[in-house]
Amino acid sequence: MRTDMDKIMPERCCTAERRSLLISGWTFIKLWAVGLVLLPVIRFINFRVPAQPRIFSVKKGLKKDGFILEPDFIIFSEETGPVAISRKCTHLGCRLNYHETEKILICPCHQSKFTRKGKRIAGPAERDLPVYDVETIVEENGNSYLVTVI
């Protein structure tokens, strides 16, 4: 049964649905526009220049089963040739020390231990050490090495 009020305001429920749909649509468009503006800003803030590989020349001789200690890496003489291992601990970035008697690299900060090939033995570090490319250059007065650090 229809009342006089229904005659004055017909289909009130449909008008409310349309209004909420328009409000939701405008809200979506506004959020999309804000995201469109913020995306380049966030990409700009998080931008980092990719690290360029550094090449080090080491003019010291390497004895059999010996090593050459440098600030960023250590070169070991292995059966397959020279191997360069990072001296930066993968846990917190402390500089590793080489212990000749035990033939392992030990982190002075939290005692993470690594083999001569960079494999993790113990400690809080969860990853192995990075291994760098070594190029041997044969010269008259002995070998020199080019190490590419990334």
> What pLDDT, in 10s, does the model give residues 92-128?
999 999 999 999 999 999 999 999 999 999 999 999 9
Distance CA 107, CA 123 (A): 9
Tell me the whole-structure pTM to 2 decimals.
0.65
Alpha-carbon distance values, 133 to 55, 63, 74, 90 (Å): 10, 19, 12, 18
How far apart, in whole angstroms, are the C-alpha atoms of residue 97 and residue 112? 11
At the fourth CATH level, the homologous superfamily of domain 54-149 is: Rieske [2Fe-2S] iron-sulphur domain (2.102.10.10)
Contact (CB, 8 A) for 46 and 94: no
The ranges assigned to domains in the chain are 4-45, 54-149
Helix (H) or strand (E) holding 21: helix 12-45
| Per-residue pLDDT reduced to its tens digit, 57-100 | 988 888 888 899 999 999 998 888 899 999 999 999 999 999 99
